[in-house]
Amino acid sequence: MYATGDFIEPTHQFNSEFWGPRTIRYMDYITNDLSDKHWNSIFIALSVFAIRASSEEAVHNGAPEEPSERIPLPPSDPPSPPRDD
């Protein structure tokens, strides 16, 4: 749903009435066991995903595709030959 941008109507609201045992377990894990390092990794991954998704969407809407690799610079001009005086 999030990767494609398609909206899917949920069958149930997400609230305390519709929580299950897994939801409580995951919320406990998120609240108590994730360190700052874990949160940084999660947000970095989300940022990379968002950048890729926006780039793909731009290409889909007609923007030129950015090269995936850097194009090397052409070789510099060779030095001039020695002068014969």
- Residue 81: per-residue pLDDT: 73
> Contact at 8 Å (CB) between 18 and 10?
no
DSSP output for 1-66: -TTT------SS--SGGG--HHHHHHHHHHHHT--HHHHHHHHHHHHHHHHHHHHHHHHHTTPPPP
Distance between CA atoms of residues 61 and 81, nearest Å:
52
How confident is the model at residue 24, as a pLDDT? Answer: 82
pLDDT in tens, the chain (85 residues): 455 666 667 676 766 676 778 888 888 888 888 888 888 998 999 999 988 888 888 888 888 877 667 777 777 776 677 777 6
